Structure 1
């Protein structure tokens, strides 16, 4: 079972106990406004998302981690790697993404988990390159992306949502871990 420990977090595969807390995070419009088409997800849709993420782990050897606080065991969100279906500029690549419950914003958890995930991608899984898409105006995520050392590649319109996205990447030669 793949697990990563950081000073404050445990990144791990999903369990049945994660469904309700993640569905509560997915039910928050503020959390979801820059994810996918911006719609909140209900319990069934959250279960489907977890199932897709677990299938990606089995098929690709990477996926989206459940993120919990080491101190309490509380699920605070999801961070990980995925093979995005769009926009077209990201297809056939591996993207890093994150979503945390609002009570956990602004505490450095996203940066801590994303850094551990990027290291996992480039050093453990042997990927040569990782990409990221960020909604225009999402400065909080842009700060996380800068901390990862990713560089801006392009600005595109997401055909699924119509949102303006800034695309970033980092390759193994640029990574400073």
Structure 2
């Protein structure tokens, strides 16, 4: 599995030591605000097993994100295939960080490395990003990455219950050249 390095971060394979802090993140209602109900420890552990299997199968996926200076796990970032049933197809970028890491520019820094990998190594023609219409923080990261939104692409997530998680926005960025 490829590692990605930035000035402050290491995007790397998942370790057993990541499971507890990942579970704590997924149990945090503020971290899960735009994602749905908090996850149990079992659900959180199962997600890491799925991340590892996806990486093995297709060569990309969700990296664990570590702060290089401290070695501290602080979330994930990566690429995933768009889920079936959505009104578009492609490869989606995403990130999720523990609350103490919010507001430090880590999401943008990790996402820039992921975009570069997606375009330069995987030769993807386009990368998408999706979030709830209410998730203004993630939308700000998308804009900082140079992604653009066409309101005509916005959609209601058919997998989300009625309420604030259903209206979603779609951002795109194309490979240059």
Alignment TM-score > 0.5, same fold: yes
Q: 2:71 aligns to what SS in structure 1?
A: coil
| Structure 1 segments unaligned to the other structure (5+ residues) | none
**Mapped contact 1:134–1:165 kept (Cα < 8 A):** yes
Instruction: Provide the residue aligned with 2:24 in structure 1.
Output: 24
Q: State the 4+ residue runs in structure 1 displaced beyond 3 angstroms.
A: none
**Mapped contact 1:86–1:158 kept (Cα < 8 A):** no
User: Which runs of structure 2 are paired with 1:41-56 in the superposition (5 Å)?
Assistant: 41-56=39-54
Instruction: Provide the residue aligned with 1:173 in structure 2.
Output: 176
Instruction: Provide the residue aligned with 2:33 in structure 1.
Output: 33
Instruction: Provide the residue aligned with 2:58 in structure 1.
Output: 60
Normalising by structure 2, what TM-score?
A: 0.92
* Alignment CA distance shift 1:87-1:173 (3 Å): farther
Deviation of 1:6 (Å): 0.5
Q: 2:158 aligns to what SS in structure 1?
A: coil
Q: Answer yes or no: is 1:158 the counterpart of 2:157.
A: yes
Q: What is the rounded CA distance, in whole Å, between the counterparts of 1:75 and 1:90 in structure 2?
A: 32
Q: 1:160 aligns to what SS in structure 2?
A: coil
Deviation of 1:60 (Å): 1.3
- Count of residue pairs brought into register by the alignment: 171
Instruction: Provide the residue aligned with 2:126 in structure 1.
Output: 129
**Mapped contact 1:68–1:77 kept (Cα < 8 A):** yes
Choose 111-120 or 78-87, whichever is displaced more.
Answer: 78-87
Q: Report the RMSD for the aligned CA atoms in angstroms.
A: 1.3
Q: 1:30 aligns to what SS in structure 2?
A: coil
Q: Answer yes or no: is 1:89 the counterpart of 2:93.
A: no
| Structure 2 segments unaligned to the other structure (5+ residues) | none
